[in-house]
Structures are given as C-alpha cells and as structure tokens.
Amino acid sequence: MNTKTSEISGEVLLTLTRVVFLTIVLFSVVLLVKSFYTEKIDIKGTETSLFFQRLVFSPNGIIWQDASERWHPGVVDLRRFEQAAAANPNFLDSQWASYTGETPIIAAKLVLTAGNREIVAYYNRESFNRWEPRALLGVEGPASVYKLEKEAYVLINNGEKLEQGKLSATILS
C-alpha cells in the first residue's frame, strides 16, 4: 500500500533521524572547540620563580660587582643587601615587577643567613604584609595569593672576603 500517509510517515522518520544526527555532530563540534579554548592562563608560579632568579643573577638585584665593574651572579653583596634591609621602600621596589607604584604585582621577604646572623629585607613590604595572611589560608581562586618559598646557597661578599650563606625567599604573587 502506497498511500500518502505512509509516504509522509517515512519522510518524517527520515527527517527526525537527520535532525538527531545533526544535533550529535553539532554538539561534538562545540565540545571539540571548547576543549581547545583557554579562558585563563595562570603564570603566578613562573612569575615568582623568575623573580627569584632575577634577584640572585641580575645586575639589578643583590649580586656583587667587583672593582673592574664585573657582576658575579650568585655572589650576594652584603653592603647592598643591608642597604635594602634598612630602607623601606628600597632600591628593589623601584626596579622590578610593578606596573606603577600603586599596582604592585609581586611581594617578597628575603632572609640572608650569614653564619649566625640573619638579615631580613623586603621587596614591596606593604603588599607583603597585606597578602601574607591570605597566602597562609591556602585558598585558591581568582582572588587568591600564590606563595613560593625558595632557598639558595650563595656566597656573600663581606668586603674582600667571601663567606658561605643561604638566601631564603618567601614570594607572594
């Protein structure tokens, strides 16, 4: 029997099948595109690690410069570190990781251990004091504070004598 109702029902059945497969293909394409789309890139870990490396190895940091104006990466200039510890804000605050004075993006507490004495210097002390309680909570999310604790064994130039020491840094971003 080849009636109009059988032809219409066959067409409806084929159309429904096409719509179902088209919907499945459309959703799979949307999921595929969404899997490659990145909404947020978190660079706080890289940023804090880079800050520490610049501090220890960059001429703008706390490394020692000899009489012939050569920089010695990994050798901390004790006089320069004490100068940074005595002043707030210090020379480090005006050189790095700050868009302007009002919008700092990183803060650090630096502890230089030389023998039995410890010298504490801060980079962006106001922000460090404001962010540290938030970093201790371990809360994650967009308003969270990333905390990195890093240590490095360094040589300390005390005048003309080199001595062993340790530089500990708590960096917040």
Taking only the tens place, the pLDDT of each residue in 35-72 is 888 777 778 888 888 888 888 888 877 888 888 888 88
Residues 157, 68: Cα–Cα separation, whole Å: 15
| Domain ranges across the chain | 1-37, 44-172
Residues 112, 169: Cα–Cα separation, whole Å: 9
Taking only the tens place, the pLDDT of each residue in 81-120 is 888 888 776 667 666 555 555 657 888 899 999 888 899 9
Q: Which residues pair with 77 in a beta bridge?
A: 157
Residues 33, 27: Cα–Cα separation, whole Å: 10
Burial tier of 138 (Cβ tally within 10 Å: 0-12, 13-18, 19+): exposed
In sequence order, the 6+-apart residues with CB closer than 8 A to the CB of 89 are: 124, 125
- Classified as helix, coil or strand, 135 is helix
pTM over 0.85: no
